[in-house]
């Protein structure tokens, strides 16, 4: 059973639209992953490690808009510090990225 959270709890999560501007192999990660550099407009750029190599090539990801949580604390992943969490749905143990249907400005809040 999923725990119940209040609206106040949910409102603490800062979900934003960003555009992936750089993709590198995360060579020291235990599971295959990319290091993404994401432009969040006025919030600046943030980096994230994402285990999405099974469904996406580096070229598929460049200039793609995604949804990410930008106010989690940083997380150490191997030799890398992830600054945001890219959101996706899990299908057959593979992550399918969440993204807006139409292009919106980077940094746009998700409600």
Class of domain 15-97: mainly beta
63 exposed, middle or buried (CB, 10 Å; 0-12, 13-18, 19+)? Answer: exposed
38-76: per-residue pLDDT in tens?
999 999 999 999 999 999 999 999 999 999 999 999 999
Q: Which helix (H) or strand (E) holds 59?
A: helix 58-61
Asked whether the whole model's pTM tops 0.85, one would answer yes
Best CA proximity match to 17, nearest among 74, 57, 69, 52: 69
Distance CA 93, CA 70 (A): 24
């Amino acid at each position: 059973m999923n725990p119940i959270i209040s609206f106040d709890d949910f409102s603490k999560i800062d979900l934003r639209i960003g555009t992936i501007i750089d993709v590198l192999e995360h060579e020291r990660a235990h599971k295959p992953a990319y290091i993404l550099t994401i432009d969040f407009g006025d919030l600046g750029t943030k980096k994230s490690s994402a285990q999405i190599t099974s469904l996406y090539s580096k070229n598929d990801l460049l200039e793609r808009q995604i949804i990410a949580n930008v106010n989690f604390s940083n997380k150490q992943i191997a030799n890398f510090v992830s600054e945001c969490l890219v959101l996706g749905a899990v299908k057959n143990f593979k992550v399918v990225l969440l993204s807006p249907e139409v292009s919106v400005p980077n940094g746009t809040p998700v409600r």
